[in-house]
């Protein structure tokens, strides 16, 4: 048995934070760059708070509480997350997400919710009114916090205004500005820094990710995001992106129809994210700065940047952000890709 571990770049923050529990806040907002391991931090923190014999503030991995945590059966832990997230984490996680919720009588089957619903917050009331199992902490782990809708946010706000005793809330979010301001005001912020490049690269190599530097660049310096990209993708720089930039660098128009066909089966969120990163590299190159995401395209991106109209590219980048909101809608995938790529090509031409 072993307790959840903090990632190497989190250890210093974890020890400083967990080592001072005398005046520990009842609610913490753990936030930072996407893909740096905020949820891993919060899970390891929950294990440490519930541990009965912590070692310098961190979970020992040997006590009864750590055993319950490792088996997913600790009575003083609740995970509050959307049903869709619970399903991604496994069937048992899905059941856990709704363990206290009361199903509506005669309710038809529906798709797993992508939001944290108000009944998930209300279902915690009986848990709050029960004594903790061994007289220690009770931990409510809520993620991702931006999945709270307005109604569930207000329900949680009421709980935090009069917090139950011996209870710590750990909310995990990429950006606090996406949350209800009054909710943020009820939490202490715990910003997590991104790891330095050397630490991130070493960790990726330990996970057998190569070429580590290119994958880390593609993820904007976030190692867990780089790991996910490496596990899901064929190359740090997608071949279709090379086929887009190559002709543009030569002042020619790429074959948008062929590119759209290659993207038809790719989730729109993925290729739009790649285009957004490409736009960032183009703007950096136009300012004479090194590219951030696709070093393999640096030469071609620099050539495009010398010809493009910066204002037009900036407007297209804003337009692409709006298209990102449509990425999960049931549109014609090929037509959507074709129209988007056409707009991108036009924005990059002189």
Residue 70 has pLDDT above 80, yes or no: yes
Q: Token pair for residue 198?
A: 């050397």
| Separation of alpha carbons 96 and 74, rounded Å | 12
What pLDDT, in 10s, does the model give residues 102-156?
A: 444 444 577 889 999 999 999 999 999 888 888 889 999 999 999 999 999 999 9
| Separation of alpha carbons 299 and 285, rounded Å | 10
Residue 181's CB: how many other CB atoms inside 10 A?
Answer: 8
| Separation of alpha carbons 350 and 343, rounded Å | 13
| Separation of alpha carbons 29 and 15, rounded Å | 17
- Verify cis geometry, omega within 30 degrees of 0, for the bond prior to 211: yes
Residue 249 has pLDDT above 80, yes or no: yes
Q: What pLDDT, on the 0 to 100 scale, is given for residue 22?
A: 67
Alpha carbon distances (Å) from 66 to 53, 136, 141: 9, 13, 16
Which residue pairs from 196-203 have beta carbons closer than 8 angstroms and sit at least 24 positions apart in sequence? 196/9, 197/221, 199/8, 199/9, 200/9, 200/226, 203/7, 203/8, 203/9
What pLDDT, in 10s, does the model give residues 321-343?
A: 998 888 877 578 899 999 999 99
Residue 295's CB: how many other CB atoms inside 10 A?
Answer: 17
Q: Are 33 and 173 in contact (CB under 8 A)?
A: no
Any idea what the Cα angle at residue 270 is, between residues 264 and 272, rounded to 5°? 85
Q: What pLDDT, on the 0 to 100 scale, is given for residue 238?
A: 93
Residue 67 has pLDDT above 50, yes or no: yes
Q: Give the CA count within 13 Å in the CB-facing half-sphere of 193.
A: 12
Of all residues in the chain, the percent with pLDDT exceeding 70 is 93
Strand spans (E) along 1-54: 27-31
3-state secondary structure of 183: helix
Average pLDDT of the residues in 225-243: 92
| Separation of alpha carbons 315 and 23, rounded Å | 48
The DSSP annotation for 199-241 comes to HHHHHHHHTT-SSHHHHHHHTTT-HHHHHHHHHH-S-SS-HHH
With a CB cutoff of 8 Å and minimum separation 6, the contacts of 233 are none
What pLDDT, in 10s, does the model give residues 13-51?
A: 999 999 877 678 999 999 999 999 999 999 999 999 999
- pLDDT bin (cut points 50, 70, 90) of residue 93 is very low
Global confidence as pTM: 0.86
CA 61, 62, 63, 69 dihedral sign is positive
Which helix or strand (DSSP H or E) is residue 138 part of? Answer: strand 138-142
What pLDDT, in 10s, does the model give residues 294-316?
A: 999 999 999 999 999 999 999 99
Q: Are 112 and 128 in contact (CB under 8 A)?
A: no
């Amino acid at each position: 048995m072993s307790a959840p571990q903090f990632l190497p770049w989190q250890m210093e923050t974890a020890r400083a934070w967990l080592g001072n529990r005398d005046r520990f806040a009842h609610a913490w907002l753990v936030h930072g760059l996407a893909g740096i391991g905020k949820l891993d931090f919060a899970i390891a923190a929950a294990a440490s708070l519930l541990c009965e014999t912590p070692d310098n503030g961190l979970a020992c991995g040997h006590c009864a509480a750590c055993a319950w945590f490792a088996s997913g059966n600790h009575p003083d832990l609740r995970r509050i997350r959307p049903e869709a997230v619970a399903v991604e984490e496994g069937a048992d996680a899905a059941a856990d997400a709704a363990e206290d919720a009361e199903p509506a009588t005669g309710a038809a089957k529906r798709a797993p919710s992508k939001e944290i619903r108000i009944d998930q917050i209300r279902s915690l009331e009986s848990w709050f009114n029960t004594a903790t199992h061994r007289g220690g902490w009770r931990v409510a782990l809520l993620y991702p916090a931006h999945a709270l809708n307005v109604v569930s946010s207000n329900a949680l706000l009421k709980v935090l205004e009069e917090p139950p005793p011996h209870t710590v809330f750990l909310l995990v979010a990429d950006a606090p500005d996406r949350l209800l301001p009054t909710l943020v005001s009820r939490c202490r912020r715990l910003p997590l820094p991104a790891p330095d490049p050397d630490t991130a690269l070493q960790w990726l190599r330990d996970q057998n990710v190569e070429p580590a530097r290119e994958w880390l660049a593609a993820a904007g310096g976030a190692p867990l995001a780089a790991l996910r990209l490496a596990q899901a993708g064929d190359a740090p720089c997608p071949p279709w992106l090379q086929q887009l930039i190559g002709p543009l660098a030569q002042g020619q128009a790429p074959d948008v129809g062929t590119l759209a066909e290659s993207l038809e089966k790719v989730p729109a969120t993925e290729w739009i994210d790649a285009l957004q990163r490409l736009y960032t590299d183009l703007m950096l190159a136009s300012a004479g700065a090194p590219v951030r995401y696709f070093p393999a395209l640096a030469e071609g991106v620099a050539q495009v940047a010398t010809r493009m109209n910066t204002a037009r590219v900036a407007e297209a980048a804003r337009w692409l952000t709006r298209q990102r909101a449509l990425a999960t809608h049931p549109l014609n995938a090929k037509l959507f890709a074709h129209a988007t790529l056409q707009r991108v090509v036009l924005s990059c031409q002189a």
